[in-house]
Amino acid sequence: MSAAHIEFKTKWGLVVDIDKCTGCGACMVACQTENNVSPMEDASNKLRTLTWMLVYELKNGKPFPEAEVAYLPRPCMQCGNPSCVPVCPVVATDKNEDGGIVSQIYPRCIGCRYCMAACPYHARYFGWFDPVWPEGMEKAITPFASTRPRGVVEKCSFCHHRWNQAKDAARVAGKDPDNLPDGAYVPACVEICPTGAMAFGDLNNPKHKVYELSKSPYAFRLLERLGTDPQVYYMTKRDWVRRQGDNYLPNEKA
């Protein structure tokens, strides 16, 4: 609820190597399946679809043969200073738990969509219609992620339920649930990525791969200068891609 920046002992973070991403979209499919996103009857209007994870296509704007493309998977940035949290009138979204994942409390949300107006990443989605699963497909709904009614805002939670499962597994194995080894908890998108473009772990834990990756000179975050302090990092060795990670004045360097 607080607008103040809180530091957590554990800070779950995602590092995406854009140079390794082929734009296959497997992460989007895995996300929708894992989080019980119902298929839409007509998904042709992409501004109406529920894509908590969305792959954007980036172009360098040059003609052939210099034309290049890059793909940028965009989950919720789980910002350290979220623009969405302080604006919610009913505390339906919060950043108050170790791990730093921005929560979304569906039974609390009134559907005012102020958080959507606040988020510059378009990471928040609204249930415009009742979710409907075609006959038989409802059997694929998992008990792990709650389904949402229409009229509430929903978003990526870094597959929060998988964290709970990882902690339970650690407890059963007699290990410390608050000090999970690298790879014990990964979201569905990371698990499915066929090229290994995504790494997930605790950004504060030197034993986790993301600790080093996030400090790479090739790492950057989206729209950093707005002050959102995201927990999602991107990597690229291509200058033109890097430059599209934020807004720069013509005389500024990325």
Partner 1 sequence: MSFIEAEKTWYPEGVTRCGLGKFLGWLAILGAFLAFGAVAAFFIFFFGIGVTGMDNYFGFGLWITFDLAVIALGAGAFFTGLLRYIIRIDELKDIINLAVIIGFICYSGAMLILTMDIGQPLRAWFGYWHPNVHSMLTEVIFCITCYLMVLIIEFVPLVLEQKQLNKIPFLHHLAHNFHVVMPLFAGIGAFLSTFHQGSLGGMYGVLFGRPYAFREGFFIWPWTFFLFVLSAIASGPCMTVLVCALVEKATGRKLTTYRVKSLMAKIGGTMLLIYMVMKYLDTWAWITGVLPKAGLTFDQMFYGLIYGKWLMFIEQVVCILIPVIFLLVPALRRRPAFMYWACILNCLGIVINRYVFTVQTIAFPVMPFDTWMTYAPNWAEWGPTLMILAYGGVVMSLAYRYLPVFPQEVRLNK
User: Which residue ranges make up the site for partner 1 (CB under 8 A)?
Assistant: 1-3, 45, 47-49, 56-59, 72, 83, 86-92, 108-114, 116-122, 124-130, 149-153, 222-223, 225-228, 243-249, 252
Place of tokens 């979220």: 82
- Cβ proximity to partner 1, 99 vs 245, nearer residue: 245
- Verify cis geometry, omega within 30 degrees of 0, for the bond prior to 65: yes
What's the closest the beta carbon of residue 66 comes to partner 1, in angstroms? 18
- Cβ proximity to partner 1, 37 vs 186, nearer residue: 37
What's the closest the beta carbon of residue 172 comes to partner 1, in angstroms? 35
What's the closest the beta carbon of residue 3 comes to partner 1, in angstroms? 5
- Cβ proximity to partner 1, 9 vs 110, nearer residue: 110
- Cβ proximity to partner 1, 152 vs 193, nearer residue: 152
C-alpha atoms less than 13 angstroms from C-alpha of 139 in its C-beta half-sphere: 2
What's the closest the beta carbon of residue 54 comes to partner 1, in angstroms? 10
What's the closest the beta carbon of residue 203 comes to partner 1, in angstroms? 21
What's the closest the beta carbon of residue 59 comes to partner 1, in angstroms? 8
Q: How many CB atoms lie within 10 A of CB 125?
A: 21
- Cβ proximity to partner 1, 182 vs 246, nearer residue: 246
- Cβ proximity to partner 1, 114 vs 144, nearer residue: 114
What's the closest the beta carbon of residue 62 comes to partner 1, in angstroms? 15
- Cβ proximity to partner 1, 112 vs 141, nearer residue: 112
Retrieve residue 219's tokens: 């790492």
CA 165 to chain centre: 19
